Amino acid sequence: MSPTSTTATTATTPAGGAPDLDRAEVGTVVRVSGPVLEVAGLHAARLYDVVRVGAQSLPGEVIRLDGGVATVQVFEDTSGLRAGDPVVGTGAPLTIELGPGLLGTVFDGTQRPLAALGAEHGIYIPRGADQPGLDRGRTWDFVPSVAVGDRVEAGDELGTVQETAALRHRVLVPPDIRGVVEHVRSGPRRVDEVVARVAGHDVQMLQRWPIRRPRPVRGQQPLSRPLLTGQRVLDGLFPIALGGAGIIPGGFGTGKTVLEQAIAKHAEADVVVYVGCGERGNELTEVLEEFPQLADPRTGRPLMERTVLVANTSNMPVAAREASVYLGITMAEYYRDQGLHAVLLADSTSRWGEALREVSGRLGEIPAEDGYPAYLATRLAAFYERAGLVDSLGSTPRQGSVTVVGAVSPAGGDFSEPVTQNSLRVAGCFWALDASLARARHFPSINWTRSYTTYRLGEWFDEHVAEDWSRLSAWAVRTLQEEGSLLEVVSLLGVEAVAAPQRVTLRVGRMLREDYLQQNSFDPLDASCPPRKQVAMLRLVKAAEAAMTAAVESGRPVADVVAHPVLRTIAGARGWPADETLERHLEEAAATVRAALTTAPTTKEELR
Amino acid sequence: MTPTDAPNITARARGAVAAAPVGILPTIEMRDVRRVAGPLLVVEGADNLAFGDVVTVVTDDGSERDGQVLEVDRTRAVVQVLGGTEGMGQANVAVRARFRAAVTGVGTDVLGRVLDGAGRPRDGRPDPTAEAYRPVNGLPLNPVARIHPDQFIETGFSAIDGLNTLVRGQKLPVFTAAGLPAAEVAARIATQARVPGETDEVVVVFAAMGVTRREADFFRDQFTASASGHRNVLLLNLADDPTIERLLTPRVALTLAEYLAFEKHLHVLTILTDVTAYCEALREIAAAREEMPGRRGYPGYMYTDLASLFERAGRVHGSTGSLTQLSLLTMPDGDITHPVPDLTGYITEGQVVLSRDMAGRGIDPPFDVLPSLSRLMNAGVGVGRTRADHRGLADQLYACYARGVEVRRLVSIVGESGLTAEDRRYLAFARRFEEEFVGQGEARRTITQTLDLGWELLGDFEPDELGRVGAEHIARHHRPTATTATAARSQS
């Protein structure tokens, strides 16, 4: 039986999947060392099969087979296990449940819904606690899109349910089924009830999928559209493509989590899967408390309705941490296949890398760099390659995407470490966070000289936002670079050593940094900035540059010009509403700057 | 595993691994010891032992030491011996199985007591009464059961209250360097912290790992001799106590703290010191087990291990108590990128940094503001908690100070003559900020005093230079100093 089969099964466990009765068997523990066990007697086990260990039925995964011994990593604390304890092989890999009801739910790394666990077990998560991923008590009003006698293919829409007020969830023909619809039922159904019968297969809304295997698609599309994030430094300077991959490396306290959360809140996506991988419990709680209060920028509905949270805190078992990123991307792919645009945010992928290192160390594998296993690069690449803009399976054309943004926590803030280096090889965007910017409270603290994007999206922006977008963006990057090298000169020789035009460049660079790049995620008017407003802001800075240059050329002392108080009003653009008043705001602000710089100084204040 | 209440057990709690009612094992003695190395002992014929079991190791002279099983296979068990393996050989030792998993007795009776690193009395008084027994490793808190911490704690330090606000349920370590007054800072926070408008007293659970006798005396004085001493409990693992017990000390302390906070509804402040000593103990044990070393010889699982301590903080639904962690961490050679502060910073909700540079310039207490951070500050400040202008004011002070420090660096290269008038104002601000705002000496400031002082320091700047604070706050709080006021008058 394939793992995608949707026929009724007895296994409802998130880690159990559909058991293969031919391969189900019982072995015994021969060695326990932390979360790693050696088990004898599992002859039919395959790599990554799920097993259940001991009296508490702790879930684990086969990670090595050697002779008659299977090495198993357990997703729970192993205290109390001993040689001779029974181990049940389920004959299936780590498989999760997909279907309506994922949105708005908080799962742990093995897809146990945390609210249900809490209702049953209180404030702590006991070992061996079990809950199915999807709520069996809830019904969904299934509206068929096919009729008896229709011929359907894998990926075709069988029907829909309204998962949230804003999202119509397509129930698709599972990837391994095709043929004639023999039976279809409308009306309220639970996820594990049969809604259709196709070529002899009963189909439920609930489908299962092994998390380590990418879901199949018809084909990949070139990446030519951006995923708008509402963050000026990202969209304006280093945009990410819809279906692309980006990484955010940064030492602690540089604002990775705040940036990931800002993207989760403001990105132009249908579905956001947020994986807190080995992170702080209190921060996840903040997301849990905040997201239901915030509105989705596209639909106005509570943000939580488009969000799936995977919460694996740093003190949860290591093996579940490794599983959590795969859980997240599999759920994102599931919505992608429905023709939706999903974003996967993983905070932080380094914890996942460290989980690999920890288990590898316990297996006694030969370490590569910094103790990480040699297959780290392969694993990271395979994960990031699951991002993409795709044509879904099915006879009607449908495009969906998964965009992946991974935070990286390099040890000591040093980007030369293996997780950062291996991730940047496969990710198209490199958004380098900078501790010195963070310390000066310049947020988002993305370093504009180290960061880059390899996606060519200028054309899209020129066509859809403003024809001078690419030019403005290139001008901003160039000015910031010039300012950087000029600042080095200033730090050696003093500001007087710099010629007048360069002093103007210095001032423009500062404006770009302080007034344009900085963005306050806690200010409602500034938290998200649509592209039109970004253009207006850049045009204003450019107008100020022209006015300063003109003033200097007309003979005003450059020191007066660059210190003119009117230049401080430019920061006010961050508070402009992004509506039809933008043009008027821009014209007025630019006129004010021009007027102030062309008239002679009149007050002591201006001369100071 | 569910924590087991055991009111009917007459055996008194004798500390962490001393007596426990859960899963008592049949008394079997294993004498076939094959290897003794460092704190580890390998015993053959141990097929009834499980991972994590607690055992007693008996030597022929009758002395008994506790141990815990680190690894089992079909016949052998690797046991780590608490109290060290001195005097143990292959022939004179027996291992006696005791019970499954290390547990500790918990209860309010421990308040006012001084215990050792494993939870046994160190003050010559009888064992405290245990109300229940709990596994020392704890269980992960369900994130949905947590309440996001948002109750402001006033520590009396401007650098913390004003700029890196601490809230109830937060874990905020103090990163220090050798020779700096971190212990004094921690003691002051513990004794003078309060929540404005509340009279609830704070219970301090203090765990010292690998401290010297002199430091231990200091802490004993601070936490048990004072008027609030009856509400505090000290666990002391001294520098010459067994290394292996050092790994147990924070776990026993946090198990006690969780019980007091989440079941007894108390506001608990846990102070762990010194995290670096703990990590060195971890490294020592890992090396004895011949594990693959990671960065600087620390084991690869150190992040997970530290997280299993630091994550035991917070507030939960169903309890009015809270567990706040304030740990001290000595950065080896003052290096913040060293693995111990680095991994800690990735787990904790910010850090308060003390620096030798500040101490050298006579700033007391020597808080280094720029690398300090409180991640939970936003929830704890603002209307109804501190004051509406707090967030913006803190950002503004940070931005001005960062610029001032940058200018100071410039001065060291080009001299003060190369500066613009604007640069000079930032330079002067940075100096006053350090001397007056940070260097508050012995004074305890209320949050209002702290914020007002911040505004006073910003008096040297024009309103339109204060881009981080809202106009309404500038109108209300900003009082330009004489020079700027003159400039403003001449303008009108």
Beta-strand pair A106-107/B322-330: unpaired
* pLDDT for the residue numbered B482: 63
* Residues A263 and A297: beta-carbon distance below 8 Å: no
Q: What are phi and psi of A193, to 5 degrees?
A: -95, 150
In tens, the pLDDT along B363-389 reads: 999 999 999 999 999 889 999 899 999
Task: Name the region of A220 (left: φ>0; alpha: ψ -120 to 50; beta: rest).
Answer: beta
Tell whether B317 is within 8 A of chain A (Cβ): yes
Q: Which of B147, B211, B145 is nearest to B183 (CA)?
A: B211
Between chains, do A371 and B292 touch, taking CB under 8 Å as contact? Answer: yes
Q: In the predicted model, is pLDDT for residue B175 greater than 80?
A: yes
ipTM for the complex shown: 0.83
Residue B454: helix, strand or coil by DSSP?
helix
Chain B: nearest CA to A168, how far in angstroms?
Answer: 27
Count of CB atoms situated within 10 Å of the CB of B279:
26
Q: What is the pLDDT of residue A320?
A: 86
Reported as type and span, the H/E element at residue A188 is strand A187-190
For tokens 């709680």, the residue is A285
**What pLDDT digit, counting tens, does each position of B92-136 carry?**
899 988 777 788 899 999 999 999 988 889 999 999 999 999 989
Residues within 8 A of B (CB atoms), A 153-182 only: none
| A114 interface with B at CB cutoff 8 Å | yes
Q: What is the pLDDT of residue A370?
A: 84
Residues of B in contact with A84 (CB under 8 A): 47, 74
What are the start-end ranges of the E strands in B188-319?
Answer: 202-211, 233-238, 267-273, 315-316
Contacts of B142 in chain A (CB under 8 A): 114, 117-118, 121-125
pLDDT in tens, A31-85: 998 888 999 999 999 998 999 999 889 999 999 999 889 999 888 888 889 899 9
Domain spans, chain B: 29-100, 104-376, 390-491
For A387-443, what is each residue's pLDDT tens digit? 999 999 999 999 999 999 999 999 888 899 999 999 999 999 999 999 889 888 889
Optimal mutation site among B317, B346, B417, interface A, most CBs of chain A within 10 A: B346
| Tokens found for residue B359 | 């101490």
Residue listed under structure tokens 């000595």: B330
**How many percent of chain A have pLDDT more than 70?**
95
Helix (H) or strand (E) holding A487: helix A469-493
Q: How far apart are CA A63 and CA A315, in angstroms?
A: 22
Q: Residue window 401-460, chain B: list those with CB within 8 Å of chain A.
A: 402-403, 406, 409-410, 413-414, 418-422
Q: Which of A280, A357, A488 to mutate to test the interface with B (most CBs of B within 10 A)?
A: A280
Q: Is the pLDDT of residue B4 over 60?
A: no
B47, B144, B369, B427: which to substitute to probe chain A, counting the most A Cβ within 10 Å?
A: B144
Nearest to residue A66, comparing CAs of A441, A463, A452, A364?
A364
Give me the CATH code for the B29-100 domain, please: 2.40.30.20
Q: What share of chain B is helix, strand, coil (3-state, %, to 5)?
A: 35, 25, 40
Chain A: residue whose CA lies nearest to B341: A412
pLDDT of residue B83: 73
pLDDT recorded at residue A12: 36
Q: How far apart are CA A226 and CA A389, in angstroms?
A: 11
Residue B459's pLDDT is 94
Confidence of residue A283 (pLDDT cuts 50, 70, 90): confident
Predicted local distance difference test score (pLDDT) of residue A21? 57
Distance separating alpha carbons of residues B270 and A492, to the nearest angstrom:
48
Name the least confident of A86-100, A579-593, B281-295: B281-295
Q: Is A417 helix (H, G, I), strand (E, B) or coil?
A: coil
pLDDT above 70 for A230: yes
CB-count burial class (<10 Å; 0-12, 13-18, 19+) for A581: exposed
pLDDT at A20 > cutoff 70: no
The three-state secondary structure class of B428 is helix
Cβ contacts of B322 on chain A, cutoff 8 Å = none
Q: Is the pLDDT of residue B15 over 70?
A: no
B51 touches chain A (CB under 8 A): yes
Q: To the nearest 10°, the Cα dihedral for A72, A73, A79, A81? A: -10
- CB of B139 within 8 Å of a chain A CB? The answer is yes
By C-alpha distance, which of A51, A346, A114, A80 is closest to B140?
Answer: A114
Half-sphere exposure of A17 (CA within 13 A, CB side): 31
A495 compared with A64, residue with greater pLDDT: A64
CB atoms within 10 A of CB B31: 14
Judge whether A175 and A337 are in contact, CB under 8 Å.
no
Which of A33, A282, A358 is the closest to B349 by Cβ? A282
Cβ contact, residue pair A282, B70, below 8 Å? no
pLDDT at residue A100, as a whole number: 97
Contact B9/A at CB under 8 A: no
Among the partner residues A32, A282, A495, nearest to B314 by beta-carbon distance: A282
**Is the pLDDT reported for residue A608 higher than 60?**
no
Phi and psi at residue A435, to the nearest 5°: -65, -35
Q: Length of chain B in residues, anyone?
A: 492
pLDDT tens for each residue of A37-49? 999 999 999 998 9
Q: Give the tens place of pLDDT for each residue, B39-55.
A: 889 999 888 888 988 88
How far apart are the C-alpha atoms of A307 and A167, rounded to whole Å? Answer: 11
- Residues in chain A with CB shorter than 8 Å from the CB of B338 are 412
Domains defined for chain A, CATH in brackets: 1-94 (2.40.30.20), 139-206 (2.40.50.100), 220-455 (3.40.50.300), 469-607 (1.10.1140.10)
**With an 8 Å Cβ cutoff, is B464 touching chain A?**
yes
CATH domain B104-376 topology: Rossmann fold (3.40.50)
Q: Which residues of B touch A496 (CB under 8 A)?
A: 418
Share the mean pLDDT of chain A.
Answer: 90
Q: What is the per-residue pLDDT for A600?
A: 57
B 200-259 residues inside an 8 A Cβ radius of A: none
Instruction: Determine, for residues B418 and A494 on separate chains, whether the beta-carbon distance falls below 8 Å.
Output: yes
State the amino acid at position A347 in one-letter form. Answer: D
Query: Is B485 in the A-facing interface, judged by CB distances under 8 Å?
Result: no
Sort residue A228 into left (φ over 0), alpha (ψ -120 to 50) or beta: beta
**Shortest Cα distance, chain B CAs vs residue A305, angstroms:** 17
Q: What pLDDT score was predicted for residue B222?
A: 87
Chain A contact for B28, CB < 8 A?
A: no
Nearest to A314 among B295, B311, B403 (CB): B311
Specify the pLDDT at position A601: 54
pLDDT band with cut points at 50, 70 and 90 for residue A219: very high
Q: Are strands B233-238 and B202-211 parallel, antiparallel or unpaired?
A: parallel
pLDDT band (50, 70, 90) for residue B19? very low
- Which residues 492-511 in chain A show a CB within 8 A of chain B? 492-496
Alpha helices in B289-370, H assignment, sequence order = 302-310, 339-347, 356-360
Which tens digits make up the pLDDT trace of A293-340? Answer: 888 878 889 999 999 999 998 888 888 888 999 999 999 999 999 999
Taking 80 as the threshold, does the pLDDT of residue A535 lie above it?
yes
- Region B209-213 average pLDDT: 92
Which CATH code is given to the segment(s) B390-491? 1.10.1140
Q: At what angle do helices B421-432 and B390-414 cross, to 10 degrees?
A: 110
Under the banding of pLDDT at 50, 70 and 90, the label for residue B483 is low
Q: Is A55 on the interface with B (CB under 8 A)?
A: no
* Position B167 pLDDT exceeds 60: yes
Distance from C-alpha of A313 to C-alpha of A328, rounded to nearest angstrom: 15
CB B224 within 8 A of CB B280: no
Strands A307-313 and A106-107: parallel
pLDDT for residue A481 is more than 90: yes
pLDDT, tens only, B326-335: 999 999 999 9
Structure confidence at residue A132 (pLDDT): 93
Nearest CA in chain B to A316: B140
Amino acid at the residue A496: E
pLDDT level of residue B26 (50, 70, 90 thresholds): low
Quickly state the pLDDT bin for B491 (edges 50, 70, 90): very low
Q: What average pLDDT does this structure show over A215-226?
A: 96
- % chain B with pLDDT above 90: 57
* Mean pLDDT (whole number) for B313-318: 95
B47 touching A (Cβ < 8 Å): yes
CB B246, CB B117: distance < 8 Å: yes
Q: Which residue of A has its CA nearest to B342?
A: A412
More confident residue, A125 or A252: A125
Which pLDDT band, with edges at 50, 70 and 90, does A603 fall under?
very low
User: CB burial class (10 A; 0-12, 13-18, 19+) of residue A572?
Assistant: middle
pLDDT of the residue at B24 = 60
Contacts of A593 in chain B (CB under 8 A): none
